[in-house]
Amino acid sequence: MNDLDALLALLTPEGRALLDEVRDTDAASELAVATRLRRTHPPALVSAALGQARLRQRAAAKFGAEDAGRMFFTPHGVEQSTRASVAAYRAECLQALGVRSVADLCCGIGGDAIAFARAGIRVLAVDRDPATCAAARANADALGLADLIEVREADVTEVDTAGYDAVFVDPARRSSKRGRIFDPEAYSPPLSWAVSAALGAPRGLLKIAPGIPHEAIPAQATAEWVSDGGDVKEAVLWFGPDVTPGARRATLLPAGAGIYATPGTMLPDPEVREVGRYLYEPDGAVIRAHLVAEVAEDLDGGLIDPTIAYVTADEAHRTPYATAYEITDRMPFNVKKLKALLRERGVGTLTVKKRGSAVEPEELRKKVKPQGPNAATVFLTRVAGAPTMLIGHPVR
């Protein structure tokens, strides 16, 4: 049974009842549950229900248990869908700009369309994959948003978006054969087409990989990197009448804190200085947006190395843009000396962070064998070009 047939079978009364029955099935009991249910239900339907239950459990991290428990997913859709908190933030931004309708191109299983609709925005959700469209349609219905979301199975390059206040494009950045795609022109559809679609609308948004080279970003766009809970989730290019070309933004969720800089206000790289009492690890969105200099200025700090995005300062400062650590020890990279120091301090819980080091955290942890009641953080990095270990703990 392919993805579309499995999904359509689960939308029947028998399929929905079976989904309710297997909702809380865990991996340990799945075989026993499957064996029991296959006595009274078609085996293919039982497999589809158990597979959907697994997908819903995985999707709970992105959509929350309540929504995920009602939604329908494909394996690819769970992997590629936007986290609900990020989609809601974007929808709120569009709503604040007066957007009342949006064409969501490459909509997937409907994560962004759901957020747009919940913000009161009318959505045309387009995807060319039949199973994906079926899931998006089922999700709009399951969440009571079908009146605001029209799902259309089509090639996005052939869809007329005239009349919509905004166009949102989320090209496929993975291939079943090649995995993650790094060349923006190998996206589906290509970045160049997506940019032209965004520029042709009153407002355009284009979701891209967070690691895109800055030189590949179109000059007309403001580029925004978004993190949620400290993890970088995505980058988005914004086009429109209120966009400053070449500007960059880092947005940190759930707090909503943000740093914004235009080409005329961007600061030069911070100076390198001696390691002070405090080390600051900027949020990944700040690093991706190349806005570390703005954070360093706010902290009255500098870099520990010209190629490493760690900021050092002599004073402790509150900042939403970086995690602060108090540094207690600094030494050249030496596993034996680190092991002796940790033993002396009674460190049994060791957090290993690396930036500019080839050593893997687990490899180091196995070698030093931390034991004891205390905790510490070790940074494997470079200071003024030299491999260095900085030991400390988070500032609370």
Sign of CA pseudo-dihedral 312, 314, 315, 316: positive
What does each C-alpha distance from 242 to 35, 81, 96, 218, 238 come to in angstroms?
A: 59, 27, 12, 16, 9
Q: Contact 286/321 with Cβ under 8 angstroms?
A: yes
Q: The pTM is what?
A: 0.92
Predicted local distance difference test score (pLDDT) of residue 191: 87
Predicted local distance difference test score (pLDDT) of residue 114: 98
pLDDT, tens digit, 9 for 90 and up, residues 173-197: 765 555 676 777 777 888 899 999 9
Residue spans of the domains in the chain: they are 3-60, 78-261, 278-394
How far is the C-alpha of 391 from the C-alpha of 370, rounded, in Å? 14
Predicted local distance difference test score (pLDDT) of residue 178: 56
How far is the C-alpha of 289 from the C-alpha of 285, rounded, in Å? 6
List Cβ neighbours of 179 (8 Å cut-off, separation of 6 or more): none
- Characterise 120 by phi-psi region: left (phi > 0), alpha (psi -120 to 50), beta (else): left
Q: Contact 278/327 with Cβ under 8 angstroms?
A: yes
Maximal C-alpha separation, the chain: 72
* Identity of the residue numbered 314: D
Q: What share of the chain is helix, strand, coil (3-state, %, to 5)?
A: 35, 30, 35
What beta strand segments (E) does 56-197 contain?
A: 101-105, 122-127, 149-153, 166-169, 174-175, 179-180
Predicted local distance difference test score (pLDDT) of residue 246: 97
Predicted local distance difference test score (pLDDT) of residue 174: 66
pLDDT, tens digit, 9 for 90 and up, residues 244-303: 999 999 999 999 999 999 999 999 999 999 999 999 999 999 999 999 999 999 999 999
Tokens coding 27: 């991996």
Give the three-state DSSP class for 81: coil
The number of beta carbons lying within 10 Å of the beta carbon of residue 61 is 12
* Cα–Cα nearest to 218, from 199, 203, 200: 199
pLDDT, tens digit, 9 for 90 and up, residues 195-229: 999 999 999 999 998 998 999 999 999 999 999 99
List Cβ neighbours of 274 (8 Å cut-off, separation of 6 or more): 312
Length of the chain: 396
What beta strand segments (E) does the chain contain?
A: 101-105, 122-127, 149-153, 166-169, 174-175, 179-180, 203-208, 222-228, 231-239, 248-253, 257-261, 278-282, 302-305, 308-313, 322-332, 347-354, 374-383, 386-394
Tokens coding 365: 């942890």
Give the three-state DSSP class for 349: strand
Predicted local distance difference test score (pLDDT) of residue 186: 73
Domain 78-261, second-level architecture: 3-Layer(aba) Sandwich (3.40)
Tokens coding 75: 């394996």
How far is the C-alpha of 344 from the C-alpha of 196, rounded, in Å? 61
Which parts of the chain have pLDDT scores under 50? none
Q: What is the CA radius of gyration of the chain?
A: 24
Q: 16-23: which pairs have CB atoms within 8 A and are 24 or more residues apart?
A: 18/45, 18/46, 18/49, 19/49, 19/52, 19/53, 21/49, 22/49, 22/50, 22/53, 23/53, 23/56, 23/69
Predicted local distance difference test score (pLDDT) of residue 190: 86
DSSP assignment of 172-228 equals: B-EETTTEE---GGGSBS-HHHHHHHHHTSSEEEEEE-TT--GGGS-TTPEEEEEEE
Predicted local distance difference test score (pLDDT) of residue 10: 95
* Cα–Cα nearest to 222, from 252, 242, 202: 242
Half-sphere exposure of residue 362: CA atoms within 13 angstroms, side-chain side: 0
What is the residue whose two structure tokens read 């079978």?
9
